[in-house]
């Protein structure tokens, strides 16, 4: 009986997560005239997880966040989601004046991650890199489960302290 009481005390209800639709206002600055002159939120870091992201979510993020840089952290970048393909994705990057940088990160060993982070730092420190708009990181869902977003966020905030907000796509909340 004492064991049953101990087990009952440890019982906890876990709430499920609910996927939330990505909206334009998720990426826009909340200024007094934002409805007339919408501007992307400064200091926003966007993590996009493949293959979980939908075409609609990806296109909405590109259109409204208008990231200054799109940093590719997948070893095998693919953009074939919905009707999107590589050519259309790169056309969208160009249309929104976003610079795409492929780091070809492979999560096989920690040396690759260290080298990739070093390359990211170099790019973000480069005075030629356009900042002021959100930064977008493309990664595999498996890398997200391995804590890569936290590591990248720490790296970015060590260089660019103004980049302190994070938005993940797909976006979830506790139901």
| CA 39/CA 110 separation, integer angstroms | 38
What pLDDT shows up at residue 10?
66
Q: Where are the domains of the chain?
A: 44-174
pLDDT above 60 for 7: no
Q: pLDDT tier at 167 (50, 70, 90 boundaries)?
A: very high
Measure the CA–CA gap between 156 and 120, rounded to whole angstroms: 9
CA 20 vs. chain centroid, Å, equals: 15
CA dihedral of 143, 132, 128, 135, whole degrees rounded to 10:
10
Where does 44-174 sit in CATH, by number?
Answer: 3.90.190
Q: What is the pTM of this model?
A: 0.82
Per-residue pLDDT at 132: 83
């Amino acid at each position: 009986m004492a064991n049953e009481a101990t087990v009952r005390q440890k019982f906890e209800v876990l709430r499920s997560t609910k996927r939330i639709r990505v909206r334009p206002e998720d990426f826009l600055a909340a200024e007094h005239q934002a409805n007339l002159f919408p501007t992307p939120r400064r200091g926003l870091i966007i993590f996009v997880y493949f293959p979980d992201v939908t075409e609609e979510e990806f296109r909405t993020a590109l259109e409204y966040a208008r990231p200054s840089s799109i940093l590719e952290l997948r070893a095998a970048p693919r953009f074939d989601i919905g009707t999107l393909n590589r050519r259309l994705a790169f056309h969208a990057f160009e249309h929104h004046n976003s610079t795409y940088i492929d780091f070809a990160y492979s999560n096989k060993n920690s040396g690759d991650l260290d080298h990739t982070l070093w390359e990211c730092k170099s790019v973000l420190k480069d005075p030629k890199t356009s900042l002021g708009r959100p930064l977008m990181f493309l990664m595999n869902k498996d890398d997200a489960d391995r804590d890569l977003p936290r590591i990248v966020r720490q790296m970015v905030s060590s260089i660019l302290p103004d980049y302190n907000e994070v938005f993940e796509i797909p976006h979830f909340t506790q139901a």
